[in-house]
Amino acid sequence: MEFQYVAFSVALIILLGLLFSKLFNKIKLPGLLGMLILGIIIGPYGLNLIDNAILSISSDLRAIALIIILLRAGFGIHMESLRKVGISAVKMSFIPDLLEGFTVMFVAHYFLGLPLIEAGMLGFIIAAVSPAVIVPQMLSFIKRRMGTKKGIPLIILTGASVDDVVAITLFSIFLGLYGGQQINYLMVALSIPLQFVLGILFGLVIAVVLIYVFKHFNIRNTEKTLIILASAILLKNMGDALSSIIPIAALVGVMVIGFVILEKMPELGMQLSDKFDKIWIFAEILLFVLVGAQVNIYLAASFALIGLTIIIIGLIARSAGVYVSLMGSNLNLKEKIFCILAYIPKATVQAAIGAIPLSMGVASGQIILAIAVIAIMFTAPLGAFAVSAYGERVLEVEK
């Protein structure tokens, strides 16, 4: 029986999403994995209980969820701590990502016969580490002052958040190449730093305006939270609209908004961080249930073995990148291994952009989405468990 009602679909997603999340948490697996499986069950390739109107706007809903998690990351970064880990965090933000992305690209080209441009899309969808898994865990370690003396959770929190933006930027470049755009490779290489600078500047301007408004007008914290979220969405939309004229790494700007507000208004920043934690509960359900709903589970099953092989080879390259990034730091071997484990989970970006090639008519879109989902199902529980268990053992409590 096919249900056509949007309200029914939303209610079903929320209620069952919460239930599946709780059930998976009970068995020590990430709740997001339960939501993903739920989406597969009730989506078009399963029981077909989600209205098409919801599925038609799922890409927009996934983008909003990504914005929320990056705002949360921004509200978790303190300037004083960032100064201590600056160089390591910068290296962690792009070296592991580039090594994994290009490794997956060439391996997928060789194993699956994908054209290099389509393999490049897959590479940088897979390459991004998951803020949905990592951000809450690192914020928990920071609050308990575990590993904070050497800034380990902050290195991972900052590096992973920027890592996602690097991956999305490179994915967008490959998507543009597929669309037949005439691209000057030298100009692309030179424009990437400019994109980040412009993203930071736009985020800074918006943050300054918001701080002025918050200081001069009596606005409740709930309303401030909604204003920040709306501003971040507008920044992302502006970045998309101007992408063909002035490329802007708008998602970096989204992080900057939270970072600057926390720096200039620390008490308010902490309160708003708690508000975004609550909003994320709803956004997370929509993100993972809806991406699960788009998965052709039969196709995913047929690519399971080759997909896992590609993902594992990519993780080996990423691990080497993390180790190289931390060379010369004051971290010991156990702490470096912890950082390697923290860079395993895939979830948020794969959920947010994994279906874009399919929706844009890319020939291998179904395969790309299938392998993205395999990456989530394999790495999210593995990484979440490893980070929690190993972190409790090796991270020293700062006194």
Q: Does pLDDT of 14 surpass 90?
A: yes
What pLDDT is recorded for position 381?
82
Catalogue all structural domains in the chain, each as residue range(s) with its CATH number: 60-286+304-394 (1.20.1530.20)
Q: How far apart are the first and last CA of the chain?
A: 60
Please tell me the least confidently modeled range out of 169-183, 231-245, 280-294: 169-183
What pLDDT is recorded for position 181?
54
The count of C-alpha atoms lying within 13 angstroms of the C-alpha of 377, restricted to the half-sphere facing its C-beta, is 22
What pLDDT is recorded for position 3?
46
Measured distance CA(122)–CA(132) in Å, rounded: 20
What pLDDT is recorded for position 180?
56
88 touches 150 (CB < 8 A)? no
- 116-119, long-range: CB within 8 Å, 24+ apart, which pairs? 117/174, 117/177, 117/178, 118/174, 118/178, 118/357, 118/362, 118/363, 118/364, 118/368
138 touches 156 (CB < 8 A)? yes
Q: What is the mean pLDDT of residues 222-226?
A: 94
364 touches 118 (CB < 8 A)? yes
* Residue 175, both tokens: 């998507």
The separation between CA 65 and the C-alpha centre of its own chain, rounded to angstroms, equals: 9
Q: What is the mean pLDDT of residues 302-329?
A: 93
- Per DSSP, the residues of 60-100 read HHHHHHHHHHHHHHHTT--HHHHHHHHHHHHHHHHHHHHHH
Q: Does pLDDT of 212 surpass 90?
A: yes
The sign of the dihedral angle between the CA atoms of 340, 345, 351, 357 is: positive
Burial of 361 (0-12, 13-18, 19+ CB in 10 A): exposed
Question: What is the DSSP-derived secondary structure letter of residue 398?
Answer: P
Q: Does pLDDT of 317 surpass 90?
A: yes
257 touches 210 (CB < 8 A)? yes
285 touches 84 (CB < 8 A)? no
In 3-state terms, what secondary structure has residue 388?
helix
Q: What is the mean pLDDT of residues 342-368?
A: 86
What pLDDT is recorded for position 188?
64
Q: What is the mean pLDDT of residues 9-31?
A: 89
Measured distance CA(97)–CA(108) in Å, rounded: 16
